[in-house]
Amino acid sequence: MKETLDISTASEPHHHHDHEDDDHLHGHNLNPKFFAHAQVPHNMGQLPAPNGRAVGIGSCGDQMEVTLEVTDNTIRRVCHLPRGCVYTVACGSAMSYLVTGRRLEEALALSPDEVAEELGGLPDDHLHCAALAVNTLGEAIDDYYQTVWGARAKSDTGAKPR
């Protein structure tokens, strides 16, 4: 069963800051693709036995947990657990949608601009939400490398993801 997100209450779970724009999403002329990701997010939740995991905190204080299932150097499954505004939810959904099935090197090349493009654009004051999704993905992939390869990932020249 897919979870739905009521945009009118999306900012309620976090009280550490308010995004005034959350109440006026239409004022940003957001693309229908944004609302599709925000209302029915892809891959939201946590994987039960991930082999890569990270928690990122954005510049606004929003958080996102990313869990990965990687086999044969390919992201088979990715889940995001956002704690923040509706923009963070939509960016996590778009990121997870874009990297599922990608090889790790391709996933590491994902940019915040590509996440924004998948959403049909983002207002400048919420581009940091796309960066949060991408940076947390990168940290989860790094965690995978460290978990699977241990010290080898640090000592290999040129193999360290960044």
**Within a domain: residue 1?**
no
The number of domains in the chain is: 1
Q: What is the pLDDT of residue 55?
A: 98
In-domain check, residue 13: no
Expressed as residue numbers, the domain containing 85 is: 26-155
Residue 7 placed within a domain = no
Q: Is residue 120 part of a domain?
A: yes
Q: Helix, strand, coil shares of the chain as percentages rounded to 5?
A: 50, 15, 35
Q: Provide CB contacts within 8 A for 40, sequence distance 6+.
A: 2, 3, 4, 5
pLDDT at 134 (0 to 100): 98
What confidence score (pLDDT) does residue 28 get?
64
Task: Tell me what pLDDT residue 66 has.
Answer: 98
Residue 111 counted as domain residue: yes
Residue 73 lies in a domain: yes
Residue 162 is assigned to a structural domain of this protein: no
Q: How far apart are CA 51 and CA 72, in angstroms?
A: 12
Positions of the chain with pLDDT under 50:
1-24, 26, 151, 153, 160, 162
Residue 15: inside a domain, yes or no? Answer: no
pLDDT tens per residue across span 56-79: 999 889 999 999 999 999 999 999
CATH number at residue 37: 3.90.1010.10
